[in-house]
Amino acid sequence: MSALPSQSLLLIADSCLVWGHRLSEWCGHGPQLEEDIALTNTALDVIGQARLLYQLYSSRAGNGLTEDKLAYFRGPDAFQNVAIAAVENGDYAQTVLRSLILSAWFVPLWRALAVGRDPELAAIAVEAEKAARVQRRHASDWTIRFGDGTAESRRRIEHAISTLAPWVPALLATEIDGTDRAHRENEWRAFVAEVMAEATLAAFPVNANGDHHAFEANAKQALSALLHEMQSLAREHPEAVW
Amino acid sequence: MYTQAIDTDPTLRTSAASDDGAAEDAFLARIADDEKIEPQDWMPEAYRKTLVRQISQHAHSEVVGMLPEGGWITRAPSLKRKEILLAKVQDEGGHGLYLYAAAETLGVSREQLIDALHSGKAKYSSIFNYETKTWADIGTIGWLVDGAAIMNQVPLCRCSYGPYARAMIRICKEESFHQRQGFDIVRALCEGTPEQKAMAQESLNRWWWPTLMMFGPHDSDSTHTGQASAYGIKRISNDELRQKFVDVTVAQAEFLGLSIPDPALRWNPARGHYDFGKIDWDEFWRVVNGQGPCNEARMNDRISAFEEGRWVRDAASAHAAKHAARAVARAGALEAA
């Protein structure tokens, strides 16, 4: 067995948890009941993946760590998530677009890990890839509807693109041991290009322009607020079992 | 999740008048034979109206019921509890969906029903107008509120209207999971630190009486029950269900080491049931009529989700129309070629 380095495990797990948290914020507030249920489903998928990865990490670390200690008792500086996962939801267009960006990133990542050298992780990745494909389909369908829907929906999806695009270069540059980063990036670019074309939108602007320090500071601030809420009750009762 | 006894609206306490006496006799005979009524069958207008009102009230309760618990998903104190709560609230959305679909078989649209909710014309279970102040409330809602809902809902699996009865079979199975997960949250609190146990007791103190109110007014004040029973919609009376709930729940509270906040609660060997104190019906009617702690917040949340989602639904319709028009144009071009 050749285990994936623990930092990569944490990066994937934290990204799943943080994204799942954002999706769960929609629960009960979706634009229609079917969408409420769909977003909850994605949240359940990715939080479930985070749990499996934390459990794997903990079993390998072997120092009394648990999934809940990892999720609830680390601060924002210790979280390894890709920054875009923590960005606030914004409107439904921004939520859907973030799902497209992340699921299109996760599909090739899980596929690579599913055939990788770490069999325990591969077992998780096989199922996770199937879920990510469903998420990617759902997010693509809505991106297309928004681009090729009404003037209002087009305005909103274009605004979402300009809001989220600055986080994409760092996402695509993220190295995960045991996977071919360039290959994953190519698949992401090809998939997103196809969706943008069908949505009658301009090509997705992947470029490294902009004030990266400002983006990083914003992302950290959003993550801090998210963790403050998520961890509040658990930290109030550190000895409790729930 | 949650039906409330259906007889809280005096406008429905009318008889099932029909011009077609023979058809109505045949209809009542089918009900008496425990036959299911299906959407294409003749039915008295009063039966249809009662069902639309009850099923939509139930659907609205499911959807509004997502809010008090949904607010704790982001703060659930463990990942396991977070997943369970997400799945539970998702189920409630699913129940809303089946129930709106069941109501649509009676000739109303989901839009009409939602409009009636938002305008205040339609009611939902008033239990959701109470606050979820602590994590223990998530346990108590599952244990007590879902427990009471199951008492109300299991008889509906045998109700005379086929689409409703079939929806309720699935809903009741999921409610059973909801009740168990709630009890398990409370059990964990009661086995936990003194602060956790106190949190569970404080929550029980707040939810006990509103839960008993969920069964609706006393049978003696409930003139609609007779008609709903004749139609095979309501099978067991409010007071019978409430008594059953109290009898079952007292033993569960004892097991947990919690005290039910009712000094009048005691076993009555002559009746073979627990006697319990007087329900504050003034509070019940206040909350039903809009003066509960969260009535306004719940409606604001629902209305703003609906209004803020309008552009999303419009985009989906516009895209579907464009897509269909292009398909027609392509087919026309092929034919011309």
Question: Residue B307's closest chain A neighbor by CA?
Answer: A31
Nearest CA to B310 out of A199, A149, A147, A21 is that of A149
Count of A-B CB contacts under 8 Å: 140
Q: Which ranges constitute the DSSP H helices of chain B?
A: 21-32, 45-64, 66-70, 79-104, 110-118, 135-140, 147-153, 162-190, 194-213, 225-230, 238-256, 281-286, 295-308, 310-336
Q: Does A65 touch chain B (CB under 8 A)?
A: no
Chain A neighbors of B77, CB-CB under 8 A? 72, 233-234, 237, 240, 242
Tell me if chain B has a CB within 8 Å of the CB of A67: yes
Q: Compute the nearest-CA separation of A138 from chain B (Å).
A: 13
> Which chain A residue has the Cα nearest residue B62?
A28
Q: Give A29's contacts in chain B (Cβ within 8 Å).
A: 70, 301, 304-305
Give the residue from chain A lying closest to B304, CA to CA. Answer: A29
Which tokens is A130 given?
């199937």
Closest to B44 in 3D by CA, of B66, B20, B68:
B20
Scan for tokens 């301009």, then name that residue: A202
Q: In chain A, which residues have their Cβ closer than 8 Å to the Cβ of B79?
A: 17, 47, 50-51, 54, 67-68, 71
Distance from CA of A182 to the nearest CA of B (A): 33
B274: part of which helix (H) or strand (E)?
strand B273-275
CB-nearest to B74 from A24, A44, A153 is: A24
The first and second tokens of residue B228, run together, are 């709903």
Residues of A in contact with B322 (CB under 8 A): 148-149
| Contact flag A242-B192 (C-beta cutoff 8 Å) | yes
What are the sequence ranges of the domains in chain A? 6-236
- Chain B residues lying within 8 Å of A95, measured CB to CB: none
**List of chain B residues whose C-beta atoms are within 8 Å of the C-beta of residue A36:** 66, 90, 93
User: Exposed, middle or buried: residue B129 (CB in 10 Å: 0-12, 13-18, 19+)?
Assistant: buried
Best of A18, A21, A33 to substitute, by most chain B Cβ atoms within 10 angstroms, is A33
Q: What is the pLDDT of residue B307?
A: 96
Cα B55 to the center of its chain, rounded Å: 9
Burial class (CB in 10 A: 0-12, 13-18, 19+), B113: buried
Residues 6+ apart with CB under 8 A from A163: A90, A94
What's the rounded Cα separation, in Å, for the pair A43 and A23?
A: 6
Identity of the residue numbered B135: W
Please state, as a whole number, how many other Cβ atoms lie within 10 Å of the Cβ of residue A235.
Answer: 13
CB B314 within 8 A of CB A153: yes
pTM to 2 decimals?
0.92
User: By the 8 A CB rule, do A225 and A75 touch?
Assistant: no
Distance from CA of A139 to the nearest CA of B (A): 13
Asked whether the beta carbons of B228 and B50 are under 8 A apart, the reply is yes
Residues 169-228 of A with CB under 8 A from B: none
Averaged pLDDT in 10-residue chunks for chain B of 337 residues: 46 46 91 94 94 95 96 98 97 96 97 96 94 98 96 92 95 95 98 98 98 92 69 84 97 98 98 98 94 94 96 97 92 85
Q: Which residue of chain A has the CA closest to B316?
A: A145
- For residue B65, give the chain A residue with the closest CA: A28
Find, among B131, B296, B123, B121, the residue nearest to B210 by Cα.
B131
User: A35 touching B, CB under 8 A?
Assistant: yes
User: Which residues 86-125 of A are in CB contact (within 8 Å) with B?
Assistant: 91-92
Q: Which residues of A touch B203 (CB under 8 A)?
A: none
Distance (Å) from the alpha carbon of A77 to chain B's nearest alpha carbon? 20
d(CA A83, CA A77): 12
Complex prediction ipTM: 0.96
Structure confidence by residue, pLDDT tens digits, A133-183: 999 999 999 999 999 999 999 999 999 999 999 999 999 999 999 999 999
Residues in chain A closer than 8 A to B73 (CB atoms):
24, 27
Nearest chain B CA: its distance from A132 CA (Å): 18
Q: What is the 3-state secondary structure (H, E, C) of chain A?
A: CCCCCHHHHHHHHHHHHHHHHHHHCCCCCCCCHHHHHHHHHHHHHHHHHHHHHHHHHHHHHCCCCCHHHHHHCCCCCCCCCCHHHHCCCCCHHHHHHHHHHHHHHHHHHHHHHHCCCCHHHHHHHHHHHHHHHHHHHHHHHHHHHHHCCCHHHHHHHHHHHHHHHHHHHHHHCCCCCCCCHHHHHHHHHHHHHHHHHHCCCCCCCCCCCCCHHHHHHHHHHHHHHHHHHHHHHHHHCCCCCC
Paired with B124 in beta bridges are none
Q: Is A142 exposed, middle or buried (0-12, 13-18, 19+ CB in 10 A)?
A: buried
Could you give the CA distance from residue B234 to residue B225 in angstroms, rounded to a whole number?
7
A47 closest CB neighbour out of B79, B191, B304: B79
Angle, to 10 degrees, between the axis of helix A181-198 and the axis of helix A92-114?
Answer: 140
Query: Which one-letter DSSP state was computed for residue B121?
Result: S
Give the per-residue pLDDT at A218. Answer: 85
* Interchain contact, B319 vs A33, CB within 8 Å: no
How do residues A103-128 score in pLDDT, each as one tens digit? 999 999 999 999 999 999 999 999 99
**Based on the number of CB atoms within 10 Å of its own CB, is B321 exposed (0-12), middle (13-18) or buried (19 or more)?**
exposed
B91 with A27: CB under 8 angstroms? no
Q: Which residue of A has its CA nearest to B317?
A: A149
Q: Residue B86: which of A43, A233, A237 has the nearest Cβ?
A: A43
Task: Tell me what pLDDT residue B21 has.
Answer: 86
Q: Vertex A148, ends A146 and A153: CA angle to 5°?
A: 35
Match domain A6-236 to its CATH number in 1.10.8.10, 1.20.1260.10, 3.40.50.10490, 3.40.50.980: 1.20.1260.10
* Structure-token match 């982001």, residue found: B74
Inter-residue contact A20 to A46 (CB < 8 Å): yes
Name chain B contacts of A73, Cβ cutoff 8 Å: none
Strands B273-275 and B266-268: antiparallel
From A208's Cα to the closest Cα of chain B, the distance in A is: 31
Q: For B263, phi and psi rounded to 5 degrees?
A: -65, -20
